[in-house]
Structure 1
Amino acid sequence: MFGFKIVENLQKMDKDIVRKDLKYHNKRVLVSKEFTFDAAHHLHSYEGKCKNLHGHTYKVIFGISGHVDEIGLVIDFSDIKQIWKEQIEIYLDHRYLNETLPKMNTTAENMVVWIFERMEHALQAFPNKCRVEFVKLFETPTSYAEVKREWMIDV
């Protein structure tokens, strides 16, 4: 059994490990990142509480897959965050969704497809055949809509 040990000799590149060994495999791997945002909306042609203006703290979970690069990464988590911040969140966080999203009923089911499409488009600029495998959009802690890659392709 391994006990706690203080590292005395930090592994050094080209001394203890060589660059060609940084990539361990050629498999497709899924990485996941989640974000939250607060927004207001209301639903059209709906006879329930949600026809009134109200808000949610939404949670979005992305599953992004790709092949690892020469150092063993599919995509840096900070790159996913940058796409989120610059190309998606700006339309969502602290916004009136009926005004900032395309003309649609702002249901979780419609919004999750829009979010998938935005992220998928942004990933085209990245190597490693990165692609969105799924997006989950939680409207409440116990209620969410989800879209998967195969559902977007096999319409």
Structure 2
Amino acid sequence: MFGFTIVENLQKMDKDIQKHELRYHTKRVLVSKEFTFDAAHHLHCYEGKCKNLHGHTYRVVFGISGYTDGIGLVIDFGDIKKIWKDQIEVHLDHRYLNDTLPKMNTTAENMVVWIYEKMQEALTGEREDYHVEFVKLYETPTSYAEVRREWMIDG
């Protein structure tokens, strides 16, 4: 049997804990958030079944780092979701990617760099210490392309 405790005295701000105690450390921390979208595409100059129009349920995983703020947060997960919904997903979800993305072959390798750039651009406008550390773009449950910040800096 699992035991549980009913909280009888909910911790109260300025009584049980002070504002300066909310931030436990000043270290850089990575937070991660993932999303899915459905889209269709086809590949140019490719001999294989992906040259034909087809679709995927893509999964995107972001790793974003920054320093904790005064209450111990790097970034609110809801803020990441808002950037995703407003600035990135609108170009991807239920779209024909060959039309909605910049001119490119819509490979996972090209798309993951575009997604990285869009998220980094949005975060740079928020706070200087935010970094997109990595983005993984799953084209299928077992196949993905990944980009990392150090690779983007190096070229």
TM-score tier by shorter-chain length is over 0.9
- Residue matched to 1:85: 85
Deviations 1:98-132 (A, max 9, x none): 00000000000000000000000000122361110
Deviations 1:14-46 (A, max 9, x none): 000000000010100000000000000000000
Identity of aligned residues (%): 78
- Residue matched to 1:120: 120
Q: Is the deviation greater in 73-82 or in 128-137?
A: 128-137
Q: Which runs of 5+ in 1 are unaligned?
A: none
Tell me the secondary structure at the aligned position of residue 39 of structure 2.
Answer: strand
- Residue matched to 1:147: 147
Q: Distance in 1 between matches of 2:68 and 2:22?
A: 10
Normalised by the length of structure 1, the TM-score is: 0.97
- Residue matched to 1:100: 100
- Residue matched to 1:136: 136
Tell me the secondary structure at the aligned position of residue 83 of structure 2.
Answer: helix
| 1:39/1:94 contact within 8 Å kept | yes
Q: Is the deviation greater in 79-88 or in 121-130?
A: 121-130
Question: Cα distance 1:80–1:110, how it changes in 2: closer, same or farther (>3 A)?
Answer: same
- Residue matched to 2:4: 4
Q: Which runs of 5+ in 2 are unaligned?
A: none
The Cα of 1:154 is off from its aligned counterpart by: 0.7
Q: Distance in 2 between matches of 1:145 and 1:27?
A: 29
What number of residue pairs does the alignment pair up? 154
Q: CA RMSD in A?
A: 1.1
